[in-house]
Every structure is written in C-alpha cells, then in structure tokens.
Amino acid sequence: RLKAKKNDDKHDDLSLYLEVADSKTLPLGWRRHAKVSITIVNQIVDIFTEMRDYVYWLEKKLQEVGETRMQEIEEELKDLKNTCSDMNALLSS
C-alpha cells in the first residue's frame, strides 16, 4: 500500500511511503515483490507529464534499506516537481 503524508515544513512537499499490509502478522523472513508507477501530470501541457516505475523486493529484515530508498524516491519526486514548476514558468512568460 502506498501512503502519502504532507511534510511539516514550509514547502509544499509530499512524502510517499510503501507499506506492506499486515506486515506485523507475517512470519520472520517474509518477502513481497512490489512494482510502483508514479505519474506527475502537468494539466496545462500534457507533453510535460512525467512517469517513473520502481520495482522492489520488500523484506522485514531490510526495513531500514526500504526507508532509505523511499527517501531517495522523495528526492527524485522533488526534482520532478521542480522541473514541472520550471516548465510552467517558461510557459507563463
């Protein structure tokens, strides 16, 4: 399941977390395969729409690694958001 949470900072950032449903009830050593597609849609000019695909093997014993990877994805999403903002600014001028 993908969870979204607004950050408590001064920016309009959104954090995304990939969570395995009922992970607390799964036996030690479980693994799940996940494919996530994220699309940022530019509603003004469709050609600036961005799509990224991610594939993960989620494991209980590698929880910290998963959190680190999600932080990396958040940074990539910030870059995409900045790119879209720059494109919108160019179109507005």
Model pLDDT for residues 2-31, shown as the tens digit of each residue: 777 877 767 777 777 777 777 777 777 777
Judged on CB neighbours under 10 Å (0-12, 13-18, 19+), 48 is middle
Handedness of CA 90, 7, 79, 19 (dihedral sign): negative
Determine the pLDDT at residue 32.
77
Residues 6+ apart with CB under 8 A from 15: 4, 5, 6, 7, 70, 74
Residue 93 above 70 pLDDT?
Answer: no
* pLDDT tens readout for residues 40-75: 787 777 777 777 777 776 665 555 556 666 777 778
Determine the pLDDT at residue 68.
66
- Token pair in block for residue 63: 């929880």
